[in-house]
Amino acid sequence: MKDVKCEIVGDLLVSYRDKMTTKETTEMLEEHLSVCDFCRDKYAKLQQLSDEEEKKETDRGKQFQKKLLTYRAYGIGFFIGLFLPVFILTVLFLLRMLTEAIRDKCIFF
């Protein structure tokens, strides 16, 4: 009987760790964990595994953020590199057109 219960507890430990169990199940599990070394050990290992996974996730998140910042910097650099010369050339072109128009037609002189 005890083995069966340990099996059931084992099935529920992941849900219990992720706080996905109902109040009744949680109480049953906590009661069992307080008396069963086997399941307590299993749960401790599960928690340890979870912590390691979480750390890996965090590291992956940080790496992704770093990559995102790098790409954003590239994006801004690309934008400035492409549009700033175009903008400057357009302004120069317009100024030249304006000065030529003023000179040729002598609007103001």
- Residues interacting with Zn ion, by CB under 5 A? 6, 36, 38-39
**Which contacts of 16-23 are long-range, i.e. CB under 8 A and separated by 24 or more positions?**
16/43, 17/43, 17/46, 17/47, 17/50
Of 5 and 72, CB closest to Zn ion: 5
Q: How far is the CB of 26 from Zn ion (least distance, A)?
A: 15
Question: Do residues 38 and 46 touch, judged by C-beta distance below 8 A?
Answer: no
Shortest Å, Cβ 4 to Zn ion:
10
- Minimum CB distance to Zn ion smaller for 31 or for 53: 31
Least distance between Zn ion and beta carbon 45 (Å): 13
What is the smallest separation between the CB atom of 54 and Zn ion, expressed in angstroms?
25
Tokens of 31: 């009661």
Which DSSP string corresponds to 14-40?
Answer: HHHHTT-S-HHHHHHHHHHHHH-HHHH
- Which is nearer to Zn ion, 47 or 70 (by Cβ)? 47
- Residue closer to Zn ion by CB (options 2, 103) is 2
